[in-house]
Structure 1
């Protein structure tokens, strides 16, 4: 498995012979409004041209319809006939943008040798959950590949913890910038990310969704410092830079 972090939540995965684009946000730096009154968003440029990002992509996954996960530029640039997996309930809005091969994910789907499963996610706590709206996580499994669990825009809450325990993944991708909405945490912060690392000691955790939006409260450096303070080293918690590619091989049983 190869995972390239592009920016924020946008990933390009090479997995079991497929090239998967996750949550494409292609907007130019400062092309959208501020969320916390600090800076227009996104705060950084993409690390490469959009046409280079799209090379080889044969599947798109959209976890929800917030602009930092599926923006207007992506809706224009992503080929409309690519298979697109989305949260069940979002398919009508995506179809209105012209996409023609939409597959809502409400349980699981088979994609050749890959099994993709819907996983629970909660975009905050309390009243803010209704404001943020429904989201999803997902997991991927395939012979010869590490099992991947993608948490999505979620705080660490019991259903997610239970799903990770049941899935027993080799790799967990978190959104770890500690973003706030009306003072309420809406994705994981450093403490929740490290709690997850300790709850899944057999997994490599990859922290993403960092240093791209102005309502974030945790930087990469702060997360690394907090992890080091709890004895969680860079072999257990990876914090890739934008454009960086991480390669993880499946563990072969003796």
Structure 2
């Protein structure tokens, strides 16, 4: 298994001989406006793609879309992605993806098997209270196949009961969390904080944890440096990795 953090939540996952593209967002730096009612009003995304769109798409077999917020599926990706790719998603996003022109959209209620890979949909909470409700439903996905390490992509969620359940049920070898501690001017963070990531690592002592969703979107205020300092303090640096954009991590 090999995972490349492209940028933000966009991942290239090579799994069991297949390449999944997770949450494609292709916009150029500053092409989209800042999220309203947030502390840092710079345009999005804050950085360029580290590789070309052609390189991101090359060899992809299927798309995995955790949810359809603009930072996970943007207009540039909708325009540039081949529409024949199979697209795996959560049920609430089915109609929207079909309207975007994708020809093979498969909404996963609980689980689905494709090319020998078992995809399980997991729950999450994209924030707390009223803000969490307004952010709408979000999902994560677990990829499993006999003889392969299990991968859990948690999606846009904070540490919550659903994440803990997924770790207990699937015992993933690798976990990708979406962090950045994104927040609005009011309310709690809507993606994982450094404390949430420590919870994940402690709940999954045999898993390697990769942290994505960092230093790209205007209201993701947690920096890689601050997170790495926390991980060193908690003696988790050996097991929790905070990759740079474009970095490839291999699992044997």
Deviation at residue 195 of structure 1 after TM alignment: 1.5
Displacement of 1:176 in angstroms is: 1.6
Unmatched tracts of structure 2, length 5 or more: none
Match for residue 86 of structure 1?
A: 89
Q: For residues 94 and 70 of structure 2, what CA distance do their matches in structure 1 show?
A: 16
- Aligned partners of 1:130 and 1:221: how far apart in 2? 31
In 2: Cα distance, 1:28 partner to 1:50 partner:
10
> Quick check: 1:13 aligned with 2:13?
yes
Q: Determine the C-alpha separation between the residues in 2 that align with 1:44 and 1:224.
A: 20
In the alignment, what sits opposite 1:68? 71
Match of 2:227 in 1: 223
Match of 2:168 in 1: 165
RMSD of the TM alignment (CA)? 0.9
Indicate the SS of the match to 2:129. coil
How many residue pairs match? The answer is 248
Q: Which residue of 1 aligns with 2:128?
A: 125
1:149 and 1:97 map into 2 onto residues whose CA distance is 27
Aligned counterparts of 1:190 and 1:106: Cα–Cα separation in 2: 30
Instruction: Quote how far apart the aligned CAs of 1:38 are.
Output: 2.8
1:195-206 correspondence to structure 2 within 5 Å: 195-206=199-210
Q: 1:209 aligns with which of 213, 217, 225?
A: 213
Stretches of structure 1 lacking an aligned partner (at least 5 in a row)? 250-254
In the TM superposition, what are the counterparts of 1:19-58 in structure 2 within 5 Å?
A: 19-35=19-35, 36=38, 37-58=40-61
* Structure 1 residue 183: Cα displacement: 3.4
State the TM-score, normalizing by the size of structure 1.
Answer: 0.95
1:131 Cα deviation from its structure 2 partner? 1.3
TM-score, with structure 2 as normaliser? 0.96
1:187 is the counterpart of 2:191: yes
Shift of 1:151: 0.7
Per-residue CA deviations over 1:67-106 (Å, capped at 9, x if unaligned) read 0000001001110011001110211111111111000011
Partner residue, 1:252: none
Question: Matched residues in 2 for 1:91 and 1:22: separation?
Answer: 16
Contact 2:119 / 2:144 at 8 angstroms: preserved in 1? yes
Q: Match for residue 104 of structure 1?
A: 107
Partner Cα separation in structure 1 for residue 213 and residue 128 of structure 2: 19
Alignment partners' CA distance in 1, 2:106 and 2:191: 26
CA offsets per residue over residues 164-212 of structure 1, 9 Å max, x none?
A: 1111110011012111123321011001101110111000000110000
